[in-house]
Structure 1
Amino acid sequence: MTMAEENKTTANPEGPSADDSVIPEKHPLATSWSFFYLDPDEARKDWKLATKDVLSFDTVEDFWALYHHITALSQLKKGSDYSMFRGGLGDMDKIRPEWEDPHNAPGGCWKMSFDTQKIGNRIDDVFRELLMMCVGENFGEYGEYVNGVVASARAKQFRLALWTRDDDKEHIDFIGQKLLAALPPNYKIHLEFVTHAETERVKTARGVDPRPKATLYKN
């Protein structure tokens, strides 16, 4: 038998074997998530229209594909926001990064800020850890009350906020302690939980800061 005849005899008439075309299985997340970007130039015209849908995903692999293709938070244009909230695929409602969203309205957020000069590009590690805590459901039995995270790049500060579905004290205390434990130990961190209702109440009052419902510190 010639080589050509042998190849003809042994070749799969239907093309490559199944082993040659196997697509690696992806690892599903507990829920789907959606990523958003707020363009500061567009925000000056219309804040809601400035918040762009980037991608909805529901697997570990798609999360990392997204993360490795976005601009690092430390390099983001000042005035920009990144947001990641539950939902967007299947039959799960997409929660938008807005106080008015009915999934967000009864809740609030754990807020923290970092001086841009002091933290530099290390803010990327903090932001990544926060995203991983969300998609990895690392908030224990109260994880379902975590709606998402917002990261804001400003001239003098990076601001991070973990948004919750309600403002029940037991829920927010547990979530806050989990968050605090995951943050880097070599920074003085001041966490405040402020309800969206309180933020709305004072947004038109000049010189008045929202009153936090809870506070936590880490040295």
Structure 2
Amino acid sequence: MELEENLKSLNINEEENKNPHAKDEEEEGLEEGEIAGEEDDTTSLKKDVVEQPHPLEHSWTFWYDNTQAKSKQTTWGSSMHPIYTFSTIEQFWSLYNNIHHPSKLAVGADFHCFKHKIEPKWEDPVCANGGKWTVTFQKGKSDTSWLYTLLALIGEQFEYGDEICGAVVSVRGKQERIALWTKDAANESAQISIGKQWKELLDYNETIGFIFHEDAKKLDRGAKIRYTV
């Protein structure tokens, strides 16, 4: 828009140089009460609305776990790296519209969106005593739910928003999983509230379970589900 306006301005100046009386003729054609060069209030308001950024309550960081760098010998999380931190809704949409959605990610990929300065790892001090809710989808079917989850996070839609660390979408051979990480796994009422709200936001009808990170570290896939909604 700014480029277009600059081009128009250049064209007007060029025309005036060709015909020095053009401006005078234009002003003579004005209606009574009009002022030459006066900008319409609505146009000015539109410019303000477009140019004014909309800050988020928290800054968020996208992380990507590089599938090509993964191997059985590497330490878990060592191939994970931050991509970009955003703090306004405009930055979010600019990023979201230019990155692959889950259905386009390679099998084995993990794509995270966490509050800034919280690493999506069990070892992070904020996450250490937490856990996660998980929803599963058929391969290629999680795109919409991933977007809704992101919007709920950055839009502070959860009653216990301070409990939220972030979310991760994991692409596997036959399915895709979205997990919502929280801080205090022992706070049952907060976790149940988050789980119920998340299901409602996604319109997800199946039962979902909550696993403590501490259990997952010790028992891996044998970790039992502590809460369900």
Please say whether Structure 1 and Structure 2 have the same fold, judged by a TM-score greater than 0.5.
Answer: yes
* Root-mean-square deviation over aligned CA pairs: 2.3
How far apart, CA to CA, are the structure 1 residues paired with 2:211 and 2:142? 22
Task: Give deviations 1:29-58, integer Å, cap 9, x for gaps.
Answer: 001000011111112263433112110011
How far apart, CA to CA, are the structure 2 residues paired with 1:48 and 1:175? 26
- Equivalent in 41, 53, 70 of residue 99 of structure 2: 70
How far apart, CA to CA, are the structure 2 residues paired with 1:42 and 1:108? 26
1:27 counterpart residue number: 54
Q: How many residues align?
A: 188
Q: Which has the larger radius of gyration?
A: 2
How far apart, CA to CA, are the structure 1 residues paired with 2:111 and 2:97? 14
How far apart, CA to CA, are the structure 2 residues paired with 1:97 and 1:150? 8
Which amino acid in 2 is paired with 1:193? F
Q: Does 1:166 align with 2:184?
A: yes
Trace 1:45-194 onto structure 2 (pairs within 5 A).
46=74, 47-87=76-116, 94-116=117-139, 120=140, 122-140=141-159, 142-167=160-185, 168-185=187-204, 188-194=205-211
Task: Give deviations 1:47-101, integer Å, cap 9, x for gaps.
Answer: 43311211001100101111111111111100001100001xxxxxx11110000
2:218 counterpart residue number: 201
How far apart, CA to CA, are the structure 2 residues paired with 1:197 and 1:48? 16
Which amino acid in 2 is paired with 1:156? K
Which amino acid in 2 is paired with 1:74? S
Matched residue SS, 1:190: coil
Q: CA deviation at 1:162?
A: 0.1
2:9 counterpart residue number: none
Which amino acid in 1 is paired with 2:194? I
How far apart, CA to CA, are the structure 2 residues paired with 1:162 and 1:72? 17
2:6 counterpart residue number: none
Q: CA deviation at 1:6?
A: 7.2
How far apart, CA to CA, are the structure 2 residues paired with 1:184 and 1:81? 23
Q: What is the percentage of aligned positions where both structures have the same residue?
A: 32
How far apart, CA to CA, are the structure 1 residues paired with 2:131 and 2:147? 21
Unpaired segments ≥5 residues, structure 1: 8-18, 88-93
Return the TM-score normalized by structure 2. 0.76
1:38 counterpart residue number: 65
How far apart, CA to CA, are the structure 2 residues paired with 1:190 and 1:63? 30
